[in-house]
Copies of this chain bind each other. A is one copy, B any other.
Amino acid sequence: MIIVLRSGSGDAEVEAVCRRITEMGYAPHVIRGEFKTVVAAVGEERGRPDLRLLEAMETVESVMPVQQPFKLASREVRSEPSAVQVNGIAVGGPAVVVMAGPCSVESAPQMREVAEAVKEAGARILRGGAYKPRTSPYAFQGLKEQGLQYLAEARKRTGLPVVTEVLETESAELVARYADVLQVGARNVQNFSLLRRVGEMGKPVLLKRGMATSLQEFLLSAEYILATGNPSVILCERGIRTFETTTRFTLDLNAVPVLKKLSHLPVVVDPSHGTGHWDLVAPMAKAAVACGADGLIIEVHPRPEEALSDGPQSLKPARFAQLMRELGPVALAVGRSL
């Protein structure tokens, strides 16, 4: 940490800051500039008192971190990219893995229809929400366990592993009995109890970035899961909230190369939520693959205008199949397969 002192700080004040740094278990190094004095505090920071606390001292103008606060998620701990295995499918390996399916599980025939269509088109993992986080209490909240059963049936029929959201600690075990990958949604990215519980299930976790989560915070949320001893975390960029209103969110594709630089974890992109409109999904799916995403998660519904949630951003099966055909060459162009 670099501790910047207020202009005009005298020797006694510098001394006091250094003393406090020493008490906190770090070694202080003073550098006197023309206008400002700064103190560098040296030592491992994780699991030790937080030096940002020094900002509470009147002498201190600001405290600037040098180390990244996450560890298990970082390239320091593991310099090579890690792949997460999902029933023999490697997310983070040479192939770009496409996960597809409806926003909400609505019925057994709907799941069957979609599962077969997306499998036929080349998707490797089936998505579908049984527990739905909805902004309004008056909206459809998901079929819950029945939805999980429909997912399981669709898996049995198609062989596609299933990713579905865990909405609350209470149902984590139940969901884990049915699902192959446990999703933590954007609104729960800093629901720390949920992160821990989901991590403890021991299954791969798909962690979505929140709509106002910085990449550093995102990796700290991943760290919560990794700290349970579960190494299988897949990061998912799904759009952040900005001033722009023609799209539902602003898909932050910069995040893909940044996350891959800071972390060894695989990164997938959700162009459905990241745009909010079905006709923007295909171009942004291609962009995601082009900038290095390890996978995509895409909403597909046979009759989007009757979907119980997120219809406007869902692709019809024929459009999804066309997108899959178009994605192949893009993946090849960046040295991947589909």
Contacts and interface: CB of A to CB of B under 8 A. Distances in A.
A262 B137 CA distance: 18
B36 A38 contact: no
Contacts of A306: 53
A190 B46 CA distance: 29
Nearest to A227: B137
A280 B305 contact: no
**Copy count, this protein chain:** 4
Interface in A226-261: 227, 240-247, 250-258, 261
A33 B38 contact: no
- A134, A139, A190 pick with most chain B CB within 10 angstroms: A190
B53 A42 contact: no
Interface string A273-288: 0110111100110111
Contacts of A4: 66
A229 B151 CA distance: 34
Contacts of A224: 137
Contact of A67 (B35, B246, B278): B35
A257 B286 contact: no
A193 interface: yes
Interface in A69-110: 69-70, 76
Contacts of A138: 46-47, 69
Interface stretch (A116-124, A157-165, A175-183, A213-221): A213-221
Contacts of A2: 2, 38, 64, 66
Nearest to A4: B66
A211 B213 CA distance: 9
B254 A250 contact: yes
Contact of A252 (B29, B192, B220, B250): B250
A50 interface: yes
A67 B31 CA distance: 13
The interface centre, meaning the residue of A169, A194, A253, A289 with most chain B CB atoms within 10 A of its CB, is A253
Interface residues of A, number: 108
A28 to B, nearest CB: 10
A7 interface: yes
A216 B100 CA distance: 30
A317 interface: no
A254 B227 contact: no
A167 interface: yes
B305 A53 contact: yes
Contacts of A241: 212, 243
A37 to B, nearest CB: 9
A10 interface: no
B34 A305 contact: no
Given A34-B44, A36-B66, 14 more contacts: A38-B40, A38-B66, A46-B138, A53-B311, A55-B311, A69-B135, A134-B192, A135-B217, A137-B223, A167-B193, A214-B245, A242-B243, A246-B262, A326-B334
12 contacts: A33-B43, A33-B66, A46-B138, A56-B304, A136-B220, A137-B192, A242-B252, A244-B252, A257-B284, A283-B292, A284-B291, A286-B334
